[in-house]
Copies of this chain bind each other. A is one copy, B any other.
Amino acid sequence: MHVHEFQDMMRRIYFHRDSERAVVRTFNWLVEEVEELREALKEKDNEAIGDEFADVFAWLASLANVVNIDLEKAAIRKYNGRCPKCGQTLCKCPF
């Protein structure tokens, strides 16, 4: 599935709600999902970890819909086969 197809799917399911919820509250949901991912990683439950990755990705795409950002285009523009900081295909930035 293309990144923009996932973002479009999120729009179809959630945009009517996310647009009402607006930016700050949708962002806060994203933060909450990131916290749930932290918990799942601590528990080391692989199915829960997968679900929480899906949720963070879903809320990121939903938030992108609310602020009218094309996540796929933004990602390709910044990461086009190279590290945007050091410009290398195998990142050599200092840690």
Contact = CB atoms under 8 A, between A and B. Distances in A.
A9 B79 CA distance: 8
Interface string A10-36: 101110110011010001001100100
Interface residues of A, number: 54
B49 A38 contact: no
A79 B53 contact: no
Contacts of A53: 60, 63-64, 69, 71, 74-75
Interface of A: 1-3, 6, 9-10, 12-14, 16-17, 20-21, 23, 27, 30-31, 34, 37-38, 41, 46, 49-51, 53-58, 60, 63-64, 67, 69, 71-79, 81-83, 88-91, 93, 95
